[in-house]
Amino acid sequence: MATDTALYKSPSTSHVVRVTAGLGVTQLISWGTVFVPPPIFAASIAQDLQIELETVFLGITVMLLVSALVGPTLGRILDKVGSRQPMIYGALGASLGFLLLGSAPNTFVFWSAWIVLGLVAPLVLSNGCYAALSQLAGHRSRRAISSLTLFSGSAIAIFYPIAYFLDETIGWRSACLLFASLHLFISTPIFLSLIPRSKDAFASSAPPPGVHRPLEGQRRAVAFYALFILMAIHALVSNGLLLNFINLYEAFEIDKGVAVRVIALAGVLQILARLADILLSGRYPATVTILLSSLLQVLALLAILPAPSPAWIATLVIGICLSNGLMAIARAAVPLALFGTRAYGEVMGQLSFPFNVMSALAPLIFAKLILASGPMAALHVATCLSVVGLVACFCVFETWRGRSGKRSRSDTARHSFRMGADRHEDVISDDRGRSVPERINQP
């Protein structure tokens, strides 16, 4: 059977590194300008626009909710037309959003700016870059996407002091105009130079040897809805507790300075957890990463329930941050492993909906719960939710294992023989789903 091997191009390592590093710079800019400044600029914005401080913080909530609504549609566009044009428009839209925010004379323009940022957030934040890497990096997508999370995870450490310095020196309005220029003059040229014009230039989505076909039919549906539930619960628990961490410490009458030091240590450990997963990603499947993340969240909560002392609360925060570090990778890598690259943008857009909605609502939900019922009640609720999330995670894991177990012994033996005979062969599938070897460099 003749096969068009042009469809199965494998990108070079240097190409993947260059694309990942370039998109990583855009992630630093996007996460560092959208999420870091509002808490730092909040007092200045409230005073300047004569609004309540809480209203300023609602800006990110509005952006996340708008992003959740448009995410699936933008994901389908990324799959259909490629990532170049949508991401360029996303960077231009982000620049417009910060121009509106920096020049806002009233609350109407203030809210309009956050709505604009919400409309383009799926393109300039993680989902857009994940979709681009899934198209450009071929079978190296998992490690490339995992590496990208190091950039987004470092945004707070880099942009927090920058935003504080800008607020003290040039003011929040000039800082927003500076952020607009970063999207316009740095992110946009990166998208223009690194992302090809034609989808024909994309790397192959064909799996390398040993990688199974994407889930289909009922297994795909079960895995998708289990992931949907898991993403919602994990975002609700982790964001609800971490963003109310100071409130928890004060409720247990623990020194605030200790809380700040613990959260700083936990942030460093979170980045180290991501780095460790990236270095070891070739040794185990992505489903193991998401299982470890869910287990860490449950164990950290169970450990604190008998004795909510400062040491155990520190353990809770460190455990949740480590869980978050792994989940940031798993959110991108697991859909890629289970569902493939063909509709990856749409799947990520759909799965980002529960994550964004719960991320937006979680701080308010847990703040009210702590205020109304006390910190222990909030921890009990979080524990129950995380156990449900772990059950959903096991469902995803078992669905993946069931799919993996379908290969016969003869298939496994043939695959092992091919790997030993020729390291340059890939396993691709014909139109009937049968595995056939094909040389990547065959003319």
Q: What is the 3-state secondary structure (H, E, C) of the chain?
A: CCCCHHHHCCCCHHHHHHHHHHHHHHHHHHHHHHCCHHHHHHHHHHHHHCCCHHHHHHHHHHHHHHHHHHHHHHHHHHHHHCCHHHHHHHHHHHHHHHHHHHCCCCHHHHHHHHHHHHHHHHHHCHHHHHHHHHHHCHHHHHHHHHHHHHHHHHHHHHHHHHHHHHHHHCHHHHHHHHHHHHHHHHHHHHHHHHCCCCHHHCCCCCCCCCCCCCCCHHHHHHHHHHHHHHHHHHHHHHHHHHCCHHHHHHHCCCCHHHHHHHHHHHHHHHHHHHHHHHHHHHHCCHHHHHHHHHHHHHHHHHHHCCCCCHHHHHHHHHHHHHHHHHHHHHHHHHHHHHHCCCCHHHHHHHHHHHHHHHHHHHHHHHHHHHHHHCHHHHHHHHHHHHHHHHHHHHHHHHHHHHHHCCCCHHHHHHHHHHHHHCCCEEEEECCCCCEEEEECCCC
Residues 6+ apart with CB under 8 A from 214: 220, 338, 339, 340, 342
**What is the C-alpha to C-alpha distance for residues 238 and 386, in angstroms, rounded to an integer?**
9
Residue 213 has φ and ψ, to the nearest 5°, of -70, 155
* Amino acid 200: pLDDT: 54
Under the banding of pLDDT at 50, 70 and 90, the label for residue 191 is very high
* Amino acid 89: pLDDT: 96
Question: What residues pair up with 437 in beta bridges, in sequence order?
Answer: 427
Say if residues 40 and 167 touch (Cβ distance below 8 Å): yes
**What is the C-alpha to C-alpha distance for residues 403 and 132, in angstroms, rounded to an integer?**
27
* Amino acid 152: pLDDT: 82
Dihedral, CA of residue 83, residue 4, residue 439 and residue 129, to nearest 10: 10
Both tokens of 95, joined, read 């620049």
Residue 412 has φ and ψ, to the nearest 5°, of -65, -40
Q: Mean pLDDT score of the chain, rounded to an integer?
A: 80
pLDDT for 410 beyond 60 = no
Section 188-207 average pLDDT: 72
* Amino acid 435: pLDDT: 41
Say if residues 190 and 22 touch (Cβ distance below 8 Å): yes
**What is the C-alpha to C-alpha distance for residues 187 and 183, in angstroms, rounded to an integer?**
5
**What is the C-alpha to C-alpha distance for residues 129 and 120, in angstroms, rounded to an integer?**
12
**Residues 333-374: pLDDT tens digits?**
889 888 887 788 889 989 989 988 898 888 888 888 888 888
pLDDT for 8 beyond 70 = no
Name the most confidently modeled range: 191-200, 377-386, 413-422: 377-386
- Radius of gyration in angstroms for the set of CA atoms belonging to the chain, rounded to a whole number: 23
* Amino acid 345: pLDDT: 87
Say if residues 325 and 271 touch (Cβ distance below 8 Å): yes
* Amino acid 9: pLDDT: 55
**What is the C-alpha to C-alpha distance for residues 396 and 27, in angstroms, rounded to an integer?**
28
**Residues 424-435: pLDDT tens digits?**
333 333 433 444
pLDDT for 438 beyond 70 = no
**Residues 255-280: pLDDT tens digits?**
666 766 777 777 777 778 778 777 77
Burial (CB count within 10 angstroms: exposed 0-12, middle 13-18, buried 19+), residue 62? middle
* Amino acid 387: pLDDT: 96
**What is the C-alpha to C-alpha distance for residues 299 and 392, in angstroms, rounded to an integer?**
16
pLDDT for 407 beyond 60 = no
**What is the C-alpha to C-alpha distance for residues 91 and 419, in angstroms, rounded to an integer?**
43
